């Protein structure tokens, strides 16, 4: 395992800046997840580290060694793609053994066998070793694809949305397994996804990428609790953070520079007495949504100009009102943003 340093890396395609001045230092054994929407520059970032693209400026260092101009095969990284790429004519054993049998590596068949069995055990696929690749389910195929990366024990693993083509149940199972495998092997991982649940559950640190720029890098807790902008705040959290113009909450005492207020559903309380003097706002219940372990109350809040704003509050059963009823809202915690949607700390 090794450190990975991405230093001031930029890459343009024509006029499109796919990645702009990217700086990330990943310590050996860290699991860094780059989170961003489609087109943010996630795949380009991985391709730059793998050597499948060369940067216009900047450097890539693996364990302190500058590999910016080194050929992909000599970088000691492996890439797992969204779509599993197995050899269909080979069984699971031979698919897993393939990267170890490269003439460059000169591994003995005994060594190959030991490693394949070790990885098959890790992936819980020992009983499938003789199955042809074509007889596997989607989840099993992707597991083998991940296994093919694991057998080589490279310096750095690069993973490009490896779970996104699987159904929800398999995605959850494999996500847990991937986390376990990473912890067991202490692998250095750079993993990209647009799925916030993957980012929050897998990452030791999350990097939020937006239009090729790394807008925030921190632990899942830091990025969730202390987002640097509206775009980061809206990327993490389900339901999405409530964003209201300042005029919608005139009773909050905030500096003039604040234009938007962000309040997460769990940071508000509903009081059934709408006349409560200490309330921050009064809103009308639109509907109540029941999730497995909580209720989400959808509200309509009218600002002083008469415009309506939607609001979602997470509530306990004792605080549920009826649709059409007015309730008082108390804000326990909020985030402030300026006219450019950047965070204001006060
Ligand atoms: P997705 O989740 O859709 O794969 P992404 O975050 O991985 O998105 P990239 O694939 O890295 O984003 O693309 C970033 C930007 O660079 C996009 O605007 C994309 O159209 C552009 N781009 C990427 N590769 C090329 C290329 N080879 N030629 C031209 N433009 C490209």
**Residue 20 in contact with ligand 1 by CB distance below 6 A:** no
By the 8 A CB rule, do 255 and 346 touch? yes
> Which residues contact residue 329 at a Cβ distance below 8 angstroms, ignoring those fewer than 6 apart?
268, 269, 270, 271, 279, 280, 281, 282, 283, 299, 301, 311, 313
Residue nearest to atom 18 of ligand 1 (CA): 39
Do 123 and 150 lie in a common domain? yes
For residue 160, CA distances in Å to 3, 82, 109, 165, 317 come to: 19, 6, 30, 11, 41
The alpha carbons of the chain give a radius of gyration, in whole angstroms, of 24
* Whole-number Å distance between alpha carbons of 35 and 161: 10
* Assigned token pair, 21: 């001045």
Reported as type and span, the H/E element at residue 240 is none
Q: Is the pLDDT of residue 318 over 70?
A: no
Distance 158 CA to ligand 1 centre (A): 17
End-to-end CA, the chain: 42
pLDDT cut 90: percent of the chain above it:
68
Ligand 1 atom, smallest distance to 14 CA: 29
Q: Whose CA is nearest to atom 1 of ligand 1?
A: 38
Task: For residues 53 and 69, give the distance between their C-alpha atoms in angstroms, rounded to a whole number.
Answer: 10
Could you read off the pLDDT of 4-55 as tens digits, one per residue? 999 999 999 999 999 999 999 999 999 999 999 999 999 999 999 999 999 9
In the predicted structure, residue 333 carries a pLDDT above the cut 80 = yes
Same domain, 151 and 208: yes
Check whether residue 224 and residue 273 sit in a common domain.
no
* Confidence label for 322 from pLDDT (cuts 50, 70 and 90): confident
Could you tell me the residue range of the domain that residue 303 belongs to? 242-344
Q: Do 258 and 330 fall into the same domain?
A: yes
DSSP state of 142: H
Exposed e or buried b per residue across 113-124, where buried means at least 16 C-beta atoms within 10 angstroms of its C-beta: eebbeebbebbe
Beta bridge partners of 35: 193, 208
Tokens encoding 157:
């693993």
Q: Considering only CA atoms, which residue is closest to atom 17 of ligand 1?
A: 39
CB-ligand 1 contact for 38 (6 Å cutoff): yes
Residue 270 bridge partners (DSSP): 329
Whether the predicted pLDDT of 216 surpasses 80: yes
- Domain boundary pick from 235, 264, 289: 235
How many domains does one find in the chain?
Answer: 2
Residues 59 and 92 reside in one and the same domain: yes
Residue finishing a domain among 202, 235, 268: 235
Domain C-terminal end among 235, 269, 297? 235
| 16 and 163 share one domain | yes
Give residue 53 CA to ligand 1 midpoint distance, Å.
Answer: 12
Encode pLDDT of 132-182 as tens digits: 988 888 888 888 988 888 888 888 999 999 888 778 887 888 888 888 888
- pLDDT of res. 10: 98
Q: Which atom of ligand 1 is nearest to the CA of 43?
A: 7
Question: Measuring from atom 19 of ligand 1, which residue has the nearest CA?
Answer: 39
d(Cα 215, Cα 268) in Å, to the nearest integer? Answer: 27
Same domain, 231 and 289: no
CB 154 within 8 A of CB 74: no
Residues 175 and 63 occupy one common structural domain: yes
The pLDDT tens digits of the residues spanning 91-125 come to 999 999 998 987 777 888 999 999 999 889 888 88
**Closest Cα to atom 24 of ligand 1:** 44
* Cα three-residue angle 192-193-195, rounded to 5 degrees: 155
**Residue ranges in the chain assigned as alpha helix (H):** 42-50, 92-97, 109-122, 138-152, 168-185, 196-202, 220-225, 230-235
Same domain, 196 and 57: yes
Residue whose Cα lies nearest atom 27 of ligand 1: it is 13
Taking the model in full, what pTM does it have?
Answer: 0.90
Q: How far is the CA of 11 from the centre of ligand 1 (A)?
A: 11
189 Cβ inside 6 Å of ligand 1: no
């Amino acid at each position: 395992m090794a450190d990975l340093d991405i230093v001031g890396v930029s890459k343009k395609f024509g006029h499109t800046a796919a990645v702009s001045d990217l700086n990330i230092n990943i310590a050996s054994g860290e699991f860094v997840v780059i989170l961003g929407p489609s087109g943010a520059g996630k795949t380009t970032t991985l391709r730059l580290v793998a050597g499948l693209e060369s940067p216009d400026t900047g450097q890539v260092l693996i364990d302190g060694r500058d590999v910016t101009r080194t050929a992909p095969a000599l970088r000691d990284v492996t890439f797992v793609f969204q779509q599993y790429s197995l050899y269909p004519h080979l069984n699971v054993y031979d698919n897993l053994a393939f990267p170890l049998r490269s003439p460059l590596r000169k591994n003995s068949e005994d060594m190959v066998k030991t490693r394949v069995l070790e990885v098959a055990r890790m992936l819980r696929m020992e009983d499938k070793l003789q199955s042809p690749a074509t007889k596997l389910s989607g989840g099993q195929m992707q597991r083998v694809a991940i296994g093919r990366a694991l057998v080589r024990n490279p310096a750095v693993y690069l993973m490009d949305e490896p779970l996104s083509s699987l159904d929800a149940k398999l995605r959850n199972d494999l996500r847990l397994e991937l986390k376990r495998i990473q912890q067991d092997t202490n692998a250095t991982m750079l993993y990209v996804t647009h799925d916030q649940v993957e980012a929050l559950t897998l990452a030791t640190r999350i990097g939020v990428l937006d239009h090729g720029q790394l807008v925030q890098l921190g632990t899942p807790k830091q990025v969730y609790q202390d987002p640097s902008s509206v775009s980061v705040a809206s990327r993490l959290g389900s339901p999405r953070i409530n964003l209201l113009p300042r005029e919608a909450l005139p009773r909050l005492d905030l500096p003039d520079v604040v234009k938007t207020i962000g309040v997460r559903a769990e940071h508000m309380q509903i009081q059934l007495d709408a006349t409560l003097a200490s309330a921050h706002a009064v809103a009308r219940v639109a509907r109540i949504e029941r999730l497995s372990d909580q209720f989400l109350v959808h509200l309509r809040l009218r600002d002083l100009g008469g415009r309506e704003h939607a609001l979602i509050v997470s509530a306990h059963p004792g605080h549920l009102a009826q649709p059409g009823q007015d309730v008082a809202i108390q804000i326990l915690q909020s985030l402030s943003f300026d006219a450019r949607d950047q965070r204001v700390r006060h």
